[in-house]
Amino acid sequence: MIRETIVTTVGADGAVHIAPFGITEEETGPVIAPFRPSVTLDNLEATGAAVINLTDDVRIFAGCLTGRRDWPTRPATVVTGRVLEGALAHREVRVAAREDDPARPRFRLTVVHEETHAPFRGFNRAQAAVVEAAILVSRLHMLAPEKIESEIAYLAIAVEKTAGPREREAWGWLMERVADYKAGHAKAAG
Ligand SMILES: Cc1cc2nc3c(=O)[nH]c(=O)nc-3n(C[C@H](O)[C@H](O)[C@H](O)COP(=O)(O)O)c2cc1C
């Protein structure tokens, strides 16, 4: 199973880095697989630690994909790292093993501490749609224009029907990015 999370890491220089990552739950524990190049990958190698944040604030997913990476954090409890203020729960992890790969190395992680901060409030279709749209935005260069159009038209239904203010704001940032991409594409073609 893969859970969509926000991973926070700290660089050798102490700089905090925030990025969405799908975390695979394996029998041995969580696994993260960053495509190269990746600041998260560099930080995992530098510190051997990370914080996996579970949040329903989808602005953080959309924000990280649209240049809004500055989300409030506080120090982690056990590892050298930071916890997102918007996290419903978090897990502090250390790198247990590393499987090298030229494109996408895998890090097997050991959970050394976990905390719950707020309850799960139930599924929301607009939140799921924003996460899907964030993944779409991270792959725009790999997708045909018709595919982008049809996926967005479908996801927009859930946003129109079920979004609250946070979901609408996140959706707006992603749609701006798609519009910029399409405008850039049209210019290059013309
Ligand atoms: C929901 C979601 C899941 C993602 N999962 C991954 C992942 O498993 N591996 C990856 O390399 N990038 C993933 N991405 C894209 C990264 O968040 C993005 O490329 C990020 O900037 C990673 O690079 P960085 O470590 O340099 O920030 C995901 C994006 C989203 C929106």
Specify the length of the chain in residues: 190
3 CA distance to ligand 1 middle (Å): 12
Model pLDDT, residue 167: 98
* SS3 category, 55: coil
Model pLDDT, residue 105: 98
The string of pLDDT tens digits covering residues 42-93 is 999 999 999 999 999 999 999 999 999 999 999 999 999 999 999 999 999 9
Residue whose CA is at the smallest distance from ligand 1 atom 29? 20
Pocket test for ligand 1, best of 17, 21, 178 (most atoms within 8 A of CB): 21
Q: What are phi and psi of 26, to 5 degrees?
A: -110, 170
Residue whose CA is at the smallest distance from ligand 1 atom 14? 21
137 CA distance to ligand 1 middle (Å): 11
Model pLDDT, residue 153: 98
- For residue 157, pLDDT over 90 is answered with yes
Please give the Cα distance from 133 to 62 (Å, whole number): 8
Residue showing tokens 């967005």? 152
- pLDDT confidence of 186, banded at 50, 70, 90? confident
Cβ proximity of 70 and 29 under 8 Å:
no
122 CA distance to ligand 1 middle (Å): 24
The mean of the pLDDT values for the chain is: 96
120 in ligand 1 pocket by Cβ < 6 Å? no
Q: Which of 83, 82, 84, 79 is nearest to 95 (CA)?
A: 79
- For residue 122, pLDDT over 90 is answered with yes
pTM, two decimals, is 0.96
Cβ proximity of 7 and 51 under 8 Å:
yes
- For residue 189, pLDDT over 80 is answered with no
Q: What percent of the chain has pLDDT over 90?
A: 96
Q: Which of 135, 164, 127 is nearest to 151 (CA)?
A: 135
Residue whose CA is at the smallest distance from ligand 1 atom 7? 21
107 in ligand 1 pocket by Cβ < 6 Å? no
- pLDDT confidence of 187, banded at 50, 70, 90? confident
Q: Which of 154-171 are b and which e, b meaning 16 or more Cβ less than 10 Å from the residue's Cβ?
A: ebbebbeeebeebbeebb
- Side chain identity at residue 12, one-letter code: A
Q: Which atom of ligand 1 is nearest to the CA of 21?
A: 5
- For residue 169, pLDDT over 90 is answered with yes
34 CA distance to ligand 1 middle (Å): 7
Residue showing tokens 């982008």? 148
The string of pLDDT tens digits covering residues 95-111 is 999 999 999 999 999 99
Q: Which atom of ligand 1 is nearest to the CA of 34?
A: 11
The string of pLDDT tens digits covering residues 130-152 is 999 999 999 999 999 999 999 99
Model pLDDT, residue 185: 80
Model pLDDT, residue 188: 79
Cβ proximity of 170 and 62 under 8 Å:
yes
DSSP 8-state assignment for residue 184: H
